[in-house]
Structure 1
Amino acid sequence: MRTSLTLFLILFTSISFGQNDQDDKEYFSIEKGTWSLEADFSINSRNDDFFNPTFSSDSKDFNFSVSPKIGYAISENLILGLGLGYGYSKSEDENENEQILRTTSSTSNFFAISPFVKKFFPVSEKIAFHLQGETRFAFGKNNFENSDNTERESRNESIFVGIRPGINLSLTKNILLQANFATFGYNYSSGETDGIQNSETNSLSFNFGSSSFIFGMTILL
């Protein structure tokens, strides 16, 4: 949290001084008619083993997600866009206790669509803040089974409406490095198992912690 506050103060100071000199020099600009391409990608694999004379366990997890985005500058420093997302995860667990083996496995798939609008606020020629307003619709399915031949299927849906502030660094005329460092918004989610709804959540939150930091790259065309 202390690191987040320090970064915020540095950024606030930069924008204060930058605004004073903005009229006297060139500043960050994305021209009307520019296309932008972004992509977030992650992959993770983990294997945990534990054993002693009477008990042993083996857990395997694999996660993959990708989220491409495309945008169009409808005016200077204002981008309207659309993002798509897909994620896949699989987990397997084996537990052996007193020579009795029990296994469980689950697979999940989710899809998301997120229209957004992003406004840039120039600080200098190379640096700009942005505010991104977005709506995210996501839905997923999970299949579960174990060694007792028990099978279950669960589905979940979620909606997020909110804003994400961030900062951008122009490496070249066509490449930006960006970082979102907070989220504020409303989230609704619901879930059902075997066709019966069993969960529903509403929340309004502001997150300024490390979990809200998202780094990426933008290509301008």
Structure 2
Amino acid sequence: MKKSILLIFAIVFYFGANAQIHVGGSVGFSSSNSKSTTDGTTVEGPSNTNISLMPDVEYMLAENFSIGGQIGFSFNKTKDDANDTETSLFMFRIAPYARMYFPLSENIEFFGEGGVGFARGTDKVTVGNTTNDGNTYTDFSLGVTPGLRYAISEKLKLELRAGYLGYMFSSVNNNGDPETVEKYNEFGLNINLSTVALGIKYTL
């Protein structure tokens, strides 16, 4: 028993002493709007803007394997000028992960990232000049994200994530009276602008 415990400590110490540490983060952005034209008259439809900022710390436990985590936020705003309404949602996000790298060339690597994500936030709804709390959103995800890493130099690297395959759960609490909660479950492949994130890493 003592030998097993000592072996575990030796392995943890070995990996900790030899691990490279990468610090950085990723940024995501998407924007959309709509227009409708009737008899030559054009009316602006709702517009939507989505921003995410996720600081990232990654530990290289082996040449092609790492563990890490992101802690950050996302912000979404939907504006409808025709109805004088605006909805904004700020969500706190945390996402630990494990990653495997597959070299494609001297400077480019493909990676598969398996991880868990959690997010929560309450939106603000503005009608005219009045703002109130709206729904509370909770998201949970478990899946795989593909990406590419490009080495600008020995210490500086660019990363691109795109797409998501896995399980996603979300709930919406309307905070009303009576209080109601809607729950959604989804499993599958998701590829859109909201899944694209550009990041940068620096090796300490």
Q: Structure 1 pair 32/120, CA: closer, same or farther in 2 (3 Å)?
A: farther
CA contact (8 A) 1:153 1:193 kept: yes
2:18, 2:127 → 1: CA distance? 55
1:150, 1:179 → 2: CA distance? 37
Query: Aligned residue for 2:68?
Result: 81
Query: Aligned residue for 2:21?
Result: 35
- 1:1-221 to 2 correspondences below 5 Å: 32-42=18-28, 63-95=50-82, 103-147=84-128, 151=132, 153-195=134-176, 196-207=179-190, 209=191, 211=193, 212-221=195-204
2:161, 2:63 → 1: CA distance? 21
CA-atom RMSD in angstroms: 3.5
Unaligned runs of 5+ in 2: 1-16
CA contact (8 A) 2:28 2:197 kept: no
2:192, 2:34 → 1: CA distance? 26
SS in 2 for 1:125: coil
* Aligned residue identity for 1:39: G
Q: Structure 1 pair 183/104, CA: closer, same or farther in 2 (3 Å)?
A: closer
Q: Structure 1 pair 124/56, CA: closer, same or farther in 2 (3 Å)?
A: closer
Compute the TM-score of the two structures, normalised by the length of structure 1. 0.67
Displacement of 1:67: 1.0
* Aligned residue identity for 2:25: A
Compute the TM-score of the two structures, normalised by the length of structure 2. 0.71
SS in 2 for 1:173: coil
- Number of aligned positions between the proteins: 184
Between 177-186 and 146-155, report the one with greater CA deviation: 146-155
2:153, 2:88 → 1: CA distance? 41
Query: Aligned residue for 1:5?
Result: none
* Aligned residue identity for 1:106: T
**CA-to-partner distance for each residue in 1:109-160, whole Å, 9 max, x for gaps?**
1110000111212344323221111100011111224359695521010111
Q: Structure 1 pair 180/148, CA: closer, same or farther in 2 (3 Å)?
A: closer
Q: Structure 1 pair 47/178, CA: closer, same or farther in 2 (3 Å)?
A: closer
Displacement of 1:210: 5.4
Task: Among all aligned residue pairs of Structure 1 and Structure 2, give the percentage whose two residues are the same amino acid.
Answer: 22
1:214, 1:63 → 2: CA distance? 12
* Aligned residue identity for 2:109: A
2:97, 2:165 → 1: CA distance? 14
* Aligned residue identity for 2:27: F
